[in-house]
Copies of this chain bind each other. A is one copy, B any other.
Amino acid sequence: MAQQERALKTRLLIVEAAGAVFDELGYDAATTTEIIARSGVTRGALYFHFPSKEAIADAVIASQDQFLVPPDHRVRLQATIDLTMSYARRLQHDSLLRGAVRLAVEQASYRKPDATPYVSSHEVVCRLLREAEANGELLPTADPEELTPLIVGAFTGIQVLSQAHNNRLDLLERVSALWKNLLPAIAVAGLLPHLDTSPEARPR
């Protein structure tokens, strides 16, 4: 058990160091040597857990899931907004998540473009929007199937531009503007004024 715990801890050290390295250098320029140096593990330990740089990148991308836990707000549209805000806040401060997002956006470098890195976000947002629909929060013309890829895609590009402009300093304001301008097409009129899209942190 102690040995298993140690192995899990080593794996986590590697994934966190790799996230930071991929965030800074991208997939092509990242090396296992750099990941080993940052994580403080031995090369043997790294290869025990991961047969290749690609396997490490897959683990970094999979680590996104921990940032995709939907808040339990009764209004499911508010929970969706809050999820994107907390994800944005983590992107500003967590180099593991930044590394995962960089790999997702630049995945053409490490494998043929495919949609795997976006599956979890898609599932979580789509489930929240279906719950919102079941609650009567959505306009009849609002379609969760159409809105989900739009929200995931728009968020992805908005954070690319925020990074390019000011290293994601204004990311929350940009996500707030996205919601402000999407919600009139999504939320029923009675709910609209009660949804909080402000970039400030809210008590949870």
Contacts and interface: CB of A to CB of B under 8 A. Distances in A.
Contact of A113 (B153, B163, B180): B163
For this chain, the copies found in one complex come to 2
A92 B28 CA distance: 25
Dominant secondary structure of chain A at its interface with chain B:
helix
Contacts of A163: 108, 113
A141 to B, nearest CB: 9
A146 B114 CA distance: 31
Given A105-B105, A113-B167, A153 B149 contact: no
Contact of A157 (B106, B142, B160, B165): B160
Given A29-B28, A106-B105, A115 B164 contact: yes
